[in-house]
Structure 1
Amino acid sequence: MTKFFETYCLSDVYKNIINNLRVSCVNKVKRILPIFLITFFFIQVVSCGRTNKRSQSLYNLHEQCYWLIYHNDYDSLKQKAELFLDLSRAENDKNAESYAYICLAACELTGGKASKAKEYLNKAQNIAINNSNDTIWAYALNLKGIYEARVNYNIFSSQQCFYKSKQLAEKAANYRQVAAASINLGALATLTRDTSFIKTVKYAYEYGRQTHNMHYMMGGAQTLSSLYQIAGNPVEAERYLDIAISINDKYNFHHDGVLALTQSYISLDRGEHLKALNEAKEGIERLGPSQATMLPQAWLCMARIYMAMGDYRSALESLKHTKDVSRQYSSYGYMSDVYELMAQCYYHTNSPNEALEAIHMVSLEQQSSRETMRKQLSAEHALLQEMAQKENVSEMRRLRLSHQIWMSAALGMLALCLFSVIIYMVVSRRRREKLMRSVVASTRQTVAAEDKIDSLCLGISSGTDVSGDGNQHATSSDKKTHNKDIYDRLCRMMIVDRLYADKTLTRESVIERLGTNRTYFTQLLQENCGMNYSQFIASYRVKEAIRLLSDSSRQNLSVQEVCSMCGFGSTSSFYKTFQASTGVTPVAFRKFSLKQSVDR
């Protein structure tokens, strides 16, 4: 029975504890973790759904504002932009708020309220920089470039704004904004008569053609027509102008005035003065509110046509209109040309005093132009420094935002891992306690059953008297019976005499009491219980320890006292032997055993 206890009951339980514990815990986690993840993602989906519903109205307003700009309907745009601004503030959407400011700035700039437009532009630009949004910043810089060109007539600052807008749009992969900045750079090039921007504008035209964006295609064709006319290529100029006119007529983009003026320049270069005059008049009549800043250029074009026709008095009237609208729209860049042409007209109309005065005004305008140029260069330098500084701030914010996103993701994953570990530990602890209680219960039952069997075997063999040495038994006719008798005698010595409780017990003393030799004794143990001497003695000591630790009346005994009473030489050997046999430590065994006794 000792062999059965050691080999089948205790060792098998101990061997299976870890495997059972691991399998059960993994199964628990496999059941719990998917539920947790499904719940987590369900909450995220619900929250995202609510967010999408709230942001859908913002998206719709964004698209409506874009199409109103696309069709130059600035009256309706202002109403939509104000509604867009209120809703974006309510939703705390900074990107939408900055775009609303850009739309409002476009409306104010078109209506001639430059100071209000600048205020909105600064707000939009600051929000874009703080949120590291290159797309919104590109929109703001593009509109700021238009502001610099129309209001301050600062070609250098305007060009820098368009360049930077184009770079930011390329960085953000916003090719629509790249095309818009390219067209604006081409429009500036028509003022400075710089034909090197033809390739840049062609990109915008090709983008509109490939994406079927007729607005950019028409704008690119119109600008290319002007640039080719400046470059002295009337064939290409007329070809692109025809494309722009056909797109404008088909989609009703309200660019009739601008196209008529472009056509008048081409007709003037051809010498078709009457046709050019009619086209210039048509252009002035059809220029819309958003194109009113082109009126000085239109009236100047008409004056040149009249001069080419020899009608200097009509040319003077056109030049006076040019001065008036230039002052109205703060477009003073044409004044030098105006006074120069006025001097020629006065000369041809025999008004020398007025001609001299006009020449004097030309020198004053040129001096003023040089001063303005100096201020513009200074302003451009300041603008470049400001843009570089804001770009550095934007980059720092972008890096910080990226770092925060990664940190949030890492913390989320860490929290999820910790939650999983806690679940695993809780489930493992409960499962381990359950297994421990099962081990303790089965061990106690096994020991109790062995005690009964040992008592029965002891009663059966008590009437048998075994004497003599092992050699005499070895020569008898029934060797197996005598071996069994000696083994029963050994068991009786352990149960009745409690030899195992003696710390000084040795193999030689047991052999001497049995009256046999070492070889026979070793063979006897191996045949009957499958153990050696140390394992045999340890099995009785462990059983005695189990009885003492399970006895609630002896719970005041310390582990050291139990160790001494069971015959172990040291506490460390007691712990090692007990745990190897039962799978639990003596302290844990007592804890669960006494708890089961209380529960019963």
Structure 2
Amino acid sequence: MGSFGKILRLSVWTIVLTVVRCGCGYIHAADGTTISEADRIVYVHDDAGIRLPETDTTLFERWDQAIRTQHFRELIEQARPVYTAADSCKNERLKADAGIYLAQAHLPLGHYDSTKIYLQAITPILRQDEAGPRNLIYHNLRAVLAIQTGLDYATALDDFFRARTIAHEIGHRSSEGLLLCNIASIYLIRKDSAGLKYARKAYNLGRQINDTLVYARALQVMSQLHEMAGNYDKALSLARTLKQLSANPGQQHNRITSLIIMGNALQGLGQQDSAAIYYTAALQLADTANDTNVRIYFDLNYGNFLLSRNAAASARTLFEHGLSLSVRNNNLRYRELLLLALAEASFRMNDTKGALLRYRQYHSFADSMARLQREHSFYRLLMRNEQLEHERAIQTKELRLVKARHQISVIVGLLVIAMLIAAGIYARYVHRNQMYRRLVEKYQQLTDLRRQALQTAPRETSVTDDSKTKKLYEAIEELMQTRRIWRQNDLSLEAIAGLLETNKFEVSRAINRGANMTFYNYVNSYRIREAVALLSNPENNMPIKALYQHLGFNSLSVFYNSFTQETGVPPSKFRKVIRNQ
């Protein structure tokens, strides 16, 4: 996924800022008339945001040029005194202009606290003109900030739609196209290919109005969405076009992003050597990027490529660099992926303690973001905006996180024990296949130990004292083992109760006492055991995407998570290792 901050800015107007002796200024046209807000035009700029109206060919044009060439620190040094002077003499219009420039300059540098301060300071001023171009800029900056610092997609989407409404009302078609790209980018972050419809609208609009910036931005989002969906040939073609459009100075972010996308697409096509060429080219430009998102994006993708080529040490160095940028700049965008990648890299380097630490940090971060609540609010907001625009409702997919706290502690404890047991073994193995082979062996041992624990403790207490519950549990076991009802993806307590002519509470009670686990985990235990058996069978070549449906899982991601959590090895890796034994 690409850098998300490629948002909007206002184009150049020929206007002059007259500054009186006290330091206060006002804006008027070159011929002395006031510049109308409706005459202002908007177009995209990289990671800085939307440009403001120029009010002096020697001041505001310099600021616009600084944004265009990504000299954000120079812009801050120039705009800060103007903002201070305007604030001192109560020139609210000039304060709002300078404040927007400063917010745009601080955002790509990762100075999110400074960005918030300037936006909060000019909020009361902007409320006096809620339909003006300044509010268009303001809502874009708020949206990007919501994603970078809080992964708050609902707030970001709301601000983008507000900005798009303003752009439509004042006739800024370039701005509208770029906002469509920003909306598509939210889908990209959420790994939802439905965002392609917004990106295509922006792409067509950019070509219609002959706006290269809109066209380039749409190309970037479309190529990344196609890459995410596995359409690597299409992604490669679009990225090549983007690279050609990014040959001009000041377009390092687009060049780096296009090179990374091309590397990712080639890697997906199995052309590893060709992919390495583009990643190396991106590496040569990475340090010139003034955008922290672009650099973190590079560290993550190139690190994953190196990890796929068994260069775990080099990959971990890149992941740690990206994580340090994320933490230092309070950028949450890629942190979850970086923590997970660091856990994998540490694991491959036999650093089991480091891998466990990163894995805990990953889960702690994911839980702290309260993802489930944001998913609900995000979809509600999507539906509202889709209805307002009379568009087709978007099919939603919710992530279901149903692990109880006591189950998490048990799983973490088992993982700790497994890693401690395997620590002495991993030291003797260097190559990845050997490490996975040991993990499979340890999983088999842990499965036996856990089965013994689950079969002894509960049956020595409640079940033996209640013959009715025991018989019911045995009947459930008969259904699971002979009729294999666990293959039904809609299997429920009510369904089992109907088969046994009892009620769901008795069924739940029997499972809890007989198996010492919840109904959800009890059903999944049969599915995982069957998955292990099928993956271990050399004559069974069922694709993973077909296997999860065969086993009764509702989605591929749930199957991957459940299998990996149980065995410590992804299904595809497990199949490869077990068949090579």
TM-score, normalised to structure 2, is 0.50
User: 1:517-596 to 2 correspondence within 5 Å?
Assistant: none
1:51 aligns with 2:32: yes
Q: 2:489: which partner in 1?
A: none
SS in 2 for 1:268: helix
Instruction: Answer whether contact 1:58 1:88 (CA < 8 A) is retained.
Output: no
1:140 aligns with 2:155: no
1:112 aligns with 2:93: no
Q: Give 1:229 deviation, angstroms.
A: 1.4
Q: CA separation in 2, counterparts of 1:267 and 1:326?
A: 27
SS in 1 for 2:154: helix
SS in 1 for 2:246: helix
Q: 2:258: which partner in 1?
A: 259
Report the more deviating stretch, 149-158 or 304-313. Answer: 149-158
Q: 2:267: which partner in 1?
A: 268
SS in 1 for 2:151: coil
- RMSD of aligned C-alpha atoms? 3.9
Instruction: Answer whether contact 1:183 1:223 (CA < 8 A) is retained.
Output: yes
Q: 2:321: which partner in 1?
A: 321
Instruction: Answer whether contact 1:156 1:377 (CA < 8 A) is retained.
Output: no
User: 1:232-251 to 2 correspondence within 5 Å?
Assistant: 232-250=230-248
Write out per-residue CA displacement over residues 402-458 of structure 1, whole angstroms, 9 at most, x where no aligned residue: xxxxxxxxxxxxxxxxxxxxxxxxxxxxxxxxxxxxxxxxxxxxxxxxxxxxxxxxx
- Cα distance change, pair 49–346 in 1 and its aligned pair in 2 (3 A): closer
- Cα distance change, pair 308–101 in 1 and its aligned pair in 2 (3 A): same
Residue identity (%): 15
SS in 2 for 1:110: coil
Q: CA separation in 2, counterparts of 1:111 and 1:98?
A: 20
Instruction: Answer whether contact 2:299 2:318 (CA < 8 A) is retained.
Output: yes
Q: CA separation in 1, counterparts of 2:222 and 2:181?
A: 9
Q: 1:286: which partner in 2?
A: 285
Report the more deviating stretch, 147-156 or 338-347. Answer: 338-347
Q: CA separation in 2, counterparts of 1:63 and 1:253?
A: 19
Matching residue's letter, 2:265: I
SS in 2 for 1:360: helix
Q: 1:305: which partner in 2?
A: 305
Q: CA separation in 2, counterparts of 1:305 and 1:51?
A: 59
Q: CA separation in 2, counterparts of 1:261 and 1:140?
A: 30
Q: CA separation in 2, counterparts of 1:208 and 1:233?
A: 23
- Cα distance change, pair 124–199 in 1 and its aligned pair in 2 (3 A): farther
Matching residue's letter, 2:33: N
- Cα distance change, pair 363–107 in 1 and its aligned pair in 2 (3 A): closer
SS in 2 for 1:310: coil
- Match for 2:149 among 143, 148, 151? 151
Q: CA separation in 2, counterparts of 1:350 and 1:88?
A: 59
Q: 2:364: which partner in 1?
A: 364
- Cα distance change, pair 170–314 in 1 and its aligned pair in 2 (3 A): same
Q: CA separation in 1, counterparts of 2:327 and 2:88?
A: 41
Write out per-residue CA displacement over residues 357-410 of structure 1, whole angstroms, 9 at most, x where no aligned residue: 44433433332343x76589899999xxxxxxxxxxxxxxxxxxxxxxxxxxxx
- Cα distance change, pair 179–91 in 1 and its aligned pair in 2 (3 A): farther
Matching residue's letter, 1:239: S
Write out per-residue CA displacement over residues 482-514 of structure 1, whole angstroms, 9 at most, x where no aligned residue: xxxxxxxxxxxxxxxxxxxxxxxxxxxxxxxxx
Q: Give 1:257 deviation, angstroms.
A: 1.9
Matching residue's letter, 1:305: F
Q: 1:220: which partner in 2?
A: 218
Q: CA separation in 1, counterparts of 2:30 and 2:106?
A: 36
Write out per-residue CA displacement over residues 221-242 of structure 1, whole angstroms, 9 at most, x where no aligned residue: 1221111212232333222212
- Cα distance change, pair 131–318 in 1 and its aligned pair in 2 (3 A): closer
Matching residue's letter, 1:360: R
Write out per-residue CA displacement over residues 88-107 of structure 1, whole angstroms, 9 at most, x where no aligned residue: 78998755542332111111
- Cα distance change, pair 252–363 in 1 and its aligned pair in 2 (3 A): closer
Instruction: Answer whether contact 1:225 1:238 (CA < 8 A) is retained.
Output: yes
- Cα distance change, pair 125–216 in 1 and its aligned pair in 2 (3 A): farther
- Cα distance change, pair 318–251 in 1 and its aligned pair in 2 (3 A): closer
Instruction: Answer whether contact 1:125 1:137 (CA < 8 A) is retained.
Output: no
Unaligned runs of 5+ in 1: 1-46, 383-600
Figure out how many residues of one structure are paired with residues of the other and give that number: 337
Q: CA separation in 1, counterparts of 2:105 and 2:379?
A: 25
Matching residue's letter, 2:192: D
Instruction: Answer whether contact 2:70 2:250 (CA < 8 A) is retained.
Output: no
SS in 2 for 1:338: helix
SS in 1 for 2:189: helix
Q: Give 1:299 deviation, angstroms.
A: 1.5
Q: 2:529: which partner in 1?
A: none
Q: CA separation in 1, counterparts of 2:261 and 2:344?
A: 25
User: 1:175-214 to 2 correspondence within 5 Å?
Assistant: 175-214=173-212
- Cα distance change, pair 124–79 in 1 and its aligned pair in 2 (3 A): same
Matching residue's letter, 1:214: T
SS in 1 for 2:291: helix
Instruction: Answer whether contact 2:184 2:195 (CA < 8 A) is retained.
Output: yes
SS in 1 for 2:70: coil
Q: CA separation in 1, counterparts of 2:89 and 2:165?
A: 30
Instruction: Answer whether contact 1:98 1:128 (CA < 8 A) is retained.
Output: yes
Q: CA separation in 2, counterparts of 1:369 and 1:354?
A: 23
Q: 2:47: which partner in 1?
A: none
Q: CA separation in 2, counterparts of 1:143 and 1:74?
A: 15
Q: Which has the larger radius of gyration?
A: 1
Q: Give 1:267 deviation, angstroms.
A: 2.0
Instruction: Answer whether contact 1:62 1:84 (CA < 8 A) is retained.
Output: no
Instruction: Answer whether contact 2:146 2:153 (CA < 8 A) is retained.
Output: yes
Q: Give 1:249 deviation, angstroms.
A: 0.8
Instruction: Answer whether contact 1:70 1:215 (CA < 8 A) is retained.
Output: no
The structure whose residues are more often helix, as a share, is 1
Q: CA separation in 1, counterparts of 2:203 and 2:182?
A: 12
Instruction: Answer whether contact 2:181 2:202 (CA < 8 A) is retained.
Output: yes
Instruction: Answer whether contact 1:226 1:237 (CA < 8 A) is retained.
Output: yes
SS in 1 for 2:260: helix
- Cα distance change, pair 67–174 in 1 and its aligned pair in 2 (3 A): farther
Q: CA separation in 1, counterparts of 2:379 and 2:75?
A: 31
